[in-house]
């Protein structure tokens, strides 16, 4: 089992009347709500949490990429990764980013990841994401071309890492006459590539064909996520002729370990709702611009079954849907065990800081997890 | 009114076509939201042979993969005219179709006899905000598109929930629309500066209350195209042909027959 401490770096200071005044925490939320002084403290705390994760024995620390929102303050995850290469020494660093179609110059991604890989002595894991639908607005990228651009940028980057330069890459969306990335990646032939996905058929085929680890997105029902894993296993078996190993499947889970089930819920719940109702406040029309998700995927019966976290309204629903793993150490161990077996995953992408959760509470959560949960999970599910 | 729906074969692609009426040919270029035969087409077909080809990706028409921008749609439309044997036709275009009509008139002046641009996309007007239909909820979309968002027309054409049997067509149509309309900045900048090259006699028709493309955009077309005249349809939003079909047809036919 690879255990990841993943961070979203949310803005936790949205006002109490935010929902009354704003219909979105993304794209159109005025950036005057961001306070740079508080932001400075946040970046410090959040980076310290990821550094603590190395000390606590996590295998991987991870950052992600989102644009123009209060949900996550990392429009450029590589900047965070750069800081982390110098603040840590052993742990692997996952960037989940990069949102390839947003960039007219994906060679920059190839260059930056190569730099990070050399700086970190080969500790990078390179994520490649399509980007959310709302980011088609943020970066003015035509959503009907995002999947094409994603694939083409992926091919360009992998070739830039693996083929001797210079060479000419001539595609539909990208045309570079001199592909010749300096520096080359530290890991050869290139850093591992992990792909997050919402379960679209296109992404599942893409990862199955290339045997990349597939990391689900964390905000719908556990069962829906497992169906996506099933789909991946079925597709790989029937079309690619192999059995997907657990190491190719990643379960992203918000995890909170308290002293008791009751105190855990009491401590965690306000921050969960901050995330669900504030950070992920995102109109459907922003989330699903035309073409971002294929018509085929949108018409699939499973698409309607998914209930996005922002639409749930009770803790009972959160618990039954498996939106978060919360409780005493014993409860969390038990829930994770069951979940890992059902999901068939070999990667747990834990999210320990959720919504408005303060620094000390986050660290205490991580420590309880590392001390009382992680060893049992490692023992039961060895790498 | 005689009205037929047929499937053309144009350069290996299927093109859904509505046609009806008798008289000189009128090529109607539809907008991004509605691509069926409507009452306005009956009015026009009273004195004209009306052709309404459905653009690639919309409705039953194929060929979406070959459309990357408005230029491709111009090429395609010329192919359709060739297939229909229309050496020259009067061209009426609404919204996206208006933009297409203007580009067609600019590039192929011999193919366009008279030009009617209706609440047409395609130009830029500094400082006048265009509505964003893709970001709009159904309720907001009705407010952007219609003079009376509560009207039966508005709730029928833009329902709160798409009926399941129409879902695939609607999703594909939205995708085809976004392909062309997501960010046509460069095309818009160039078209605006090229309007003076249009030679066809031109009528610009605009809804007085268009909130998607405010009247300033109609004025930009009318001011940019030599000799163009602007007619404003009162109590109309972005869709005068559907909101006031008879009045709209009158205005258009009078111009075409002048």
The dihedral region occupied by A68, where left means phi > 0, alpha psi between -120 and 50, and beta the remainder, is left
Mutate to test the interface with A, among B66, B134, B141, B169 (most CBs of A within 10 A): B134
Orientation angle between helical segments A222-235 and A201-210, nearest 10 degrees = 50
Question: Could you tell me which of A166, A164, A157, A146 has the C-alpha nearest to residue A124?
Answer: A157
Whether residue B168 and residue A299 make contact (CB cut-off 8 A), yes or no, is yes
Whether residue A289 and residue B178 make contact (CB cut-off 8 A), yes or no, is yes
Whether residue A295 and residue B172 make contact (CB cut-off 8 A), yes or no, is yes
Query: Using one digit for the tens of pLDDT, what is the confidence trace for A271-283?
Result: 999 999 999 999 9
Of A136, A284, A299, the CB nearest to B167: A299
Minimal-distance CA residue of chain A relative to B137: A285
Whether residue A295 and residue B182 make contact (CB cut-off 8 A), yes or no, is no
Of A144, A285, A298, the CB nearest to B136: A285
Considering only CB atoms, which chain B residues are within 8 Å of A295?
A: 168, 171-172, 175
B103-108: long-range contacts, CB 8 A cutoff, minimum separation 24 = B103/B70, B103/B71, B103/B73, B103/B74, B103/B191, B104/B29, B104/B74, B104/B77, B104/B78, B105/B198, B105/B199, B105/B200, B105/B202, B106/B191, B106/B194, B106/B195, B106/B197, B106/B198, B107/B74, B108/B74, B108/B78
pLDDT of residue A304: 75
Query: A313: distance to nearest CA of chain B, Å?
Result: 22
Query: B13: distance to nearest CA of chain A, Å?
Result: 20
Low pLDDT (below 70) residues in chain B: 1-2
Question: Could you tell me which of A100, A122, A127, A2 has the C-alpha nearest to residue A60?
Answer: A2
A240 touches A208 (CB < 8 A): yes
Mutate to test the interface with A, among B170, B171, B176 (most CBs of A within 10 A): B171
In whole angstroms, what is the distance from residue B178 CA to residue B12 CA?
A: 24
pLDDT of residue B2: 56
Chain B contact for A299, CB < 8 A?
yes
In whole angstroms, what is the distance from residue A343 CA to residue A340 CA?
A: 5
A236 touches A299 (CB < 8 A): no
Whether residue B175 and residue A137 make contact (CB cut-off 8 A), yes or no, is no
In whole angstroms, what is the distance from residue B155 CA to residue B146 CA?
A: 10
Considering only CB atoms, which chain A residues are within 8 Å of B168?
A: 295, 299
Query: A142: distance to nearest CA of chain B, Å?
Result: 6
In whole angstroms, what is the distance from residue B94 CA to residue B229 CA?
A: 16
Q: Which of A90-94, A100-104, A196-200, B206-210 comes out lowest in average pLDDT?
A: A196-200
Mutate to test the interface with B, among A152, A290, A304 (most CBs of B within 10 A): A290
A312 touches A319 (CB < 8 A): no
User: What does DSSP assign to residue B118?
Assistant: E
Considering only CB atoms, which chain A residues are within 8 Å of B134?
A: 285, 289-290
Considering only CB atoms, which chain A residues are within 8 Å of B181?
A: none
Q: Which phi and psi angles does A92 have, rounded to 5°?
A: -75, 155
Considering only CB atoms, which chain B residues are within 8 Å of A290?
A: 134, 171, 174-175, 177-178
pLDDT of residue A38: 98
**Residue with the two structure tokens 């594909």:** B172
In whole angstroms, what is the distance from residue B184 CA to residue B177 CA?
A: 12
pLDDT of A188 above 70 = yes
* Average pLDDT score over chain A: 96
C-alpha of B179 from chain center:
16
* Cβ-based neighbour number of residue A243 at 10 Å: 9
């Amino acid at each position: 089992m690879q255990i990841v401490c993943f961070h979203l770096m949310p803005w936790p200071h949205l006002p109490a009347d935010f929902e009354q005044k704003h219909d979105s925490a993304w794209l159109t939320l005025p950036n005057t709500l961001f306070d740079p002084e508080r932001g400075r403290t946040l970046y410090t705390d959040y980076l310290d949490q990821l550094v603590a994760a190395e000390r606590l024995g996590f295998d991987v620390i991870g950052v992600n990429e989102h644009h123009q929102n209060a949900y996550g303050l990392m429009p450029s995850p590589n900047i965070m990764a750069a800081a982390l290469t110098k603040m840590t020494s052993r742990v692997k660093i996952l960037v989940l980013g990069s949102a390839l179609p947003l960039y007219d110059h994906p060679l920059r991604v190839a260059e930056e990841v190569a730099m990070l890989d050399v700086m970190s002595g080969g500790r990078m894991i390179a994520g490649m994401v399509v980007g959310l639908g709302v980011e088609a607005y943020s970066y003015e990228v035509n959503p009907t071309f995002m999947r094409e651009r994603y694939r083409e940028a992926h091919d360009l980057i992998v070739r830039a890492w693996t083929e001797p330069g210079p060479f000419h890459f001539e595609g539909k969306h990208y045309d570079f006459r001199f592909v010749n990335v300096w520096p080359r990646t530290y890991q050869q032939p290139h850093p591992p590539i992990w792909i997050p996905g919402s379960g679209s058929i296109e992404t599942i085929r893409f990862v199955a064909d290339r045997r990349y680890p597939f990391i689900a997105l964390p905000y719908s029902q556990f069962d829906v996520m497992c169906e996506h894993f099933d789909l991946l296993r079925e597709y790989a078996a029937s079309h690619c002729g192999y059995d997907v190993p657990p190491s190719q499947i990643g379960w992203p889970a918000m995890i909170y370990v308290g002293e008791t089930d009751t105190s855990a819920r009491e401590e965690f719940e306000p921050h969960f709702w901050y995330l669900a109702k504030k950070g992920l406040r995102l109109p459907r029309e922003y989330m699903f611009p035309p073409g971002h998700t294929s018509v085929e995927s949108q018409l699939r019966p499973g698409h309607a079954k998914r209930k996005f976290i922002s639409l749930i309204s009770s803790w009972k629903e959160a618990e039954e849907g498996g939106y978060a793993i919360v409780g005493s150490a014993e409860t969390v161990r038990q829930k994770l065990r069951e979940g890992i077996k059902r999901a068939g995953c070999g990667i747990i992408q834990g999210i320990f800081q959720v919504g408005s959760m303060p620094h000390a509470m986050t660290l205490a959560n991580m420590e309880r997890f590392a001390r009382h949960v992680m060893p049992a999970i490692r023992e039961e599910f060895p790498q | 009114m005689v009205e037929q729906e047929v499937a053309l074969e144009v350069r290996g692609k299927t093109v859904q076509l509505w046609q009806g009426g008798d008289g000189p040919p009128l090529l109607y270029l539809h907008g991004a939201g509605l691509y069926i035969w409507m009452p306005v087409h009956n009015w026009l077909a009273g004195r004209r042979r009306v052709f309404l080809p459905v653009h690639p990706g919309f409705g039953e028409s194929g060929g979406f993969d070959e459309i990357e921008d408005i230029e491709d749609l111009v090429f395609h439309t010329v192919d359709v005219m060739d297939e229909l044997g229309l050496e020259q036709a009067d061209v009426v275009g609404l919204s996206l179709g208006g933009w297409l009509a203007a580009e067609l008139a600019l590039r192929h002046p011999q193919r366009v006899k008279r030009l009617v641009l209706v609440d047409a996309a395609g130009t830029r007007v500094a400082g006048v905000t265009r509505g964003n239909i893709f970001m709009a909820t159904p309720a907001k979309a009705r407010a952007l598109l219609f003079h009376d968002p509560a009207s039966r027309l508005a709730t029928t054409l833009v329902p709160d929930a798409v009926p399941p049997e129409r879902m695939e067509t609607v999703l594909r149509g939205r995708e085809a629309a976004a392909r062309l309309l997501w960010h046509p900045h460069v095309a818009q900048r160039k078209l605006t500066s090229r309007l003076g090259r249009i030679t066809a006699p031109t009528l610009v028709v605009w809804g007085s209350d268009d909130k998607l493309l405010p009247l300033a955009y109609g004025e930009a077309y009318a001011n940019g195209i030599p000799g163009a005249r602007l007619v404003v349809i009162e109590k109309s939003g972005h869709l005068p042909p559907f909101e006031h079909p008879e009045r709209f047809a009158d205005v258009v036919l009078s111009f075409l027959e002048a």
